[in-house]
Amino acid sequence: MTREPSPEESATARLLADPGLVPRNLAADVEAVHALRQGGASLDPQADPEALTSQIRAAADRIGFESPVEAATLSKRRLVELPLLERGQGTKIEAYHSAASRTLREGALVVDSVGSDGTRNVELQRRAPETGLVRVTLSARVRLRADGTTWLDDFGWPGEPARPVHTFTGATEDFLAQARADLRQENIPLDRVLLLLLGATLKEAHRPGTDTQQIQIAEAIVARRGELNVYIRQAEDYALASGGQGWYAACLYRSGLENLFENFLGSAAFSLVDMEEIEDIDDELRDRLPGSTGADRAAIPDGTPIQHWWWEAAFA
């Protein structure tokens, strides 16, 4: 029986066959960023917080990243942090920047500080529904230079959350029912399913669901093995960034995997997933999480199992 190539092997084969693929894709992405017609808006860096917030709201659609390459890269890397309904607004680049603009236009001011170089750093946050059971906090950080030039500095889940980024409201059965419904729809990405399954576990002191429900979920996950591999690669990326402000995303994704393995896949996980990859993720978390920038216990979701050691590792 011939082994199917991994996604990484397939990508490498495409690059070897067409060395110009990456430069062409990057050029297309940068062109798409330029088509947004966003740039450095000019605001008053001396304005009081209320006035500055009003200025940011008015200029929300014009405030973009200073680097088009960074804008394109973040659009691809962090689109998964948006609620599903906000990911489908055009292309990935358009959806990401549309959500960022909306956060600047509707968000509440939570940070307003001035650096030693006179740069004013502002953060706005808004709460958005993922489903009727889950809400997520989105954060847009803006940088104002002394001359008033204003750029978008970051967008996605908060880098230094002081409260849970995700809030879970509902009963275990509600989360399981929504997860099973999502699994039947191929257009709903697996990351939302794993978030719902985690929500089900957070509401229970023991393994959630009946044996039948767990088997149904496991069978559906097996059928979407490719998406699970994508989720694992995203978890790896977050683990590599976990020493800075990416600690929350790294811990959340690792908990999503652990919950899936422990409560739904069981021993099937060993035939479905290369556990060496999970060990590599854990090694990165052990090395990088201690002393993470902005780590706050208040951001840990209520009910997180104590055996999910990575959350506490951020405070070591």
- Is 14's pLDDT higher than 70? no
- Is 7's pLDDT higher than 60? no
| Whole-number pLDDT of residue 152 | 95
Write out pLDDT tens, residues 167-190: 999 999 999 999 999 999 999 999
Flag whether the pTM goes above 0.95. Answer: no
| Mean pLDDT for all residues in the chain | 91
| Whole-number pLDDT of residue 199 | 96
| Whole-number pLDDT of residue 27 | 79
- Is 138's pLDDT higher than 50? yes
| Whole-number pLDDT of residue 1 | 40
| Whole-number pLDDT of residue 4 | 54
Domain limits, the chain = 33-156, 170-313
Write out pLDDT tens, residues 60-79: 999 999 999 999 999 999 99
| Whole-number pLDDT of residue 8 | 57
- Is 9's pLDDT higher than 70? no
- Is 21's pLDDT higher than 90? no
Q: What are phi and psi of 66, to 5 degrees?
A: -70, -35
Write out pLDDT tens, residues 268-292: 889 889 999 999 999 999 999 998 8
The tokens 């030039």 sit on which residue?
A: 149
Average pLDDT over residues 82-106: 94
Write out pLDDT tens, residues 219-257: 999 999 999 999 999 999 999 999 888 999 999 999 999
Average pLDDT over residues 190-208: 93
| Whole-number pLDDT of residue 22 | 64
| Whole-number pLDDT of residue 24 | 77
DSSP secondary structure, the chain, as one string: -PPPPPHHHHHHHHHHH-TTHHHHHHHHHHHHHHTTT-B-EE--TTS-HHHHHHHHHHTGGGB-BS-HHHHHHHHHHSGGGS-HHHHTSSSHHHHHHHHHHHHHHHPEEEEEEE-TTS-EEEEEEEEEESSSSEEEEEEEEEEE-TT-EEEEEEEES-SS-SS-SEEE-S-HHHHHHHHHHHHT-TTS-HHHHHHHHHHHHHT-SS--S-HHHHHHHHHHHHHTHHHHHHHHHHHHHHHHTTTTTTHHHHHHHHHHHHHHIIIIIGGGHHHHS-HHHHHHHHHHHHHHSTT-TT--GGGSPTT--TT-THHHHTT-
Q: How far apart, in whole angstroms, are the C-alpha atoms of residue 311 and residue 258? A: 13
